[in-house]
Amino acid sequence: MGCGASQHRQPYDNTRQVHQDHQDSRRLVRLRDVDERNTQRHSTRELQRVDVIKARRRESEAAIANLPKPSTPEKLPYLKKRMSALMSPERDALKRDLSSLSKSDTSSLASRLAKLGLASHEMRGDGNCQFRGLAFNLFGSQEHHAIVRKACCDHIKTHADFFKVFFDGDQEFERYLHNMSQDRHWGDELTLRAAVEAYSCIAHIISSEAQNWYLVYTPESTDDVEMMLPVGVAAPPKNKDVYLSYVSPIHYNSVVVSTVDNQGMAGWARTEDPATGRTYYFNVETRETSWTWPPETS
């Protein structure tokens, strides 16, 4: 502005300031009314870490959602009941009869079972039959076979010094352990031994072999073990007797109490045709096969 010119100033208006103060006051009141329970605070520098935690939580939730749900015990056909239904004196008598019969009997597997008032309860023939039979005995349902498989593999890995003596070097042992951890890979005598130790149970194996067809596996350790269990299923008692029938050399079933005469069904087992997925039946003694049950024998 030029020299000597008069300067004009705007008169001070406090109305605007009062209005602003009023607005600020109302804002403070609103802020005080906010419930702290409905707020959260974090620094923008932590955003990446929060995203990682959220991702882990979602993965955890997904894993939990896929856990086996509590299930009811597997139903048995008419005139069959679980071995656990036997009273203690009956179980003791059964063991004595098994031991005595195994020294002289050379009949078929079904005939041996029938003489003892027992029968095979069919396990699905999908490569998991040994673990299915163990799960049926331990947990009441063969559908928990994957848990038994994992428990066996974990035990073998933990006690590698004991199990490695059955292999020619570490590489063969690691390959065996990797294969055995896969679904549908057949169980063997080592996994049977591992199951006995992992669940502190006693396994009774009644096979179709002509001789030495009754085998008993007992845990070497008397210490308490931490068992791997399905969700909602109680731990089996220590030294629980587990009964399996073995159609040598390829199929395991569970053994149950029965009043049915099964002698005519000797040696038969059920499995799936890998090409079509259809169920069929085969006899390891006669090599006969059938698409229907009971099978038509020649």
Q: Check whether 152 has a pLDDT greater than 70.
A: yes
Mean pLDDT along residues 12-25: 53
Confidence tier at 266 by pLDDT (50, 70, 90): low
For 80-259, CATH gives 3.90.70.80
**Residue 161's pLDDT band (cuts 50, 70, 90):** very high
Predicted confidence (pLDDT) per residue in 249-258, tens digit: 889 999 998 7
Three-point CA angle 164, 170, 174, nearest 5°: 90
Confidence of residue 3 (pLDDT cuts 50, 70, 90): very low
pLDDT tens for residues 83-97?
A: 888 888 889 999 999
Alpha-carbon distances, residue 58 vs 42, 46, 231 (angstroms): 20, 18, 20
Q: Is the pLDDT of residue 273 over 80?
A: no
**pTM of the predicted structure, to 2 decimals:** 0.66
* % pLDDT > 90, the chain: 47
Residue linked to tokens 């890998």: 274
Whether residue 139 is predicted with pLDDT greater than 80 in this model: the reply is yes
Q: What is the pLDDT of residue 5?
A: 47
pLDDT at 34 > cutoff 60? no
Element (H, E) at 111: helix 109-115
CB 75 within 8 A of CB 86: no
In this structure, are residues 282 and 271 in contact, taking their beta carbons and an 8 Å threshold? Answer: yes
Angle at 19 between CA 16 and CA 24, to 5 degrees: 125
Which neighbouring-strand residues pair with 209? none
pLDDT exceeds 60 at position 9: no
Share of the chain above pLDDT 70, in %: 65
Mean pLDDT of 3-27: 51
The string of DSSP letters for 39-108 reads -----GGGHHHHHHHHHHHHHHHHHHHTSPPP-PPPPPPTTEE-GGGS-HHHHHHHHHHHHHHTTT--S-
Where would I find the H helices in the chain? 15-32, 47-65, 88-101, 109-115, 129-139, 145-158, 160-163, 170-180, 189-198
* Mean pLDDT taken over the chain: 79
Tokens of 294: 């009971």
Three-state DSSP at 252 gives: strand
Cα 138–chain centre separation: 11
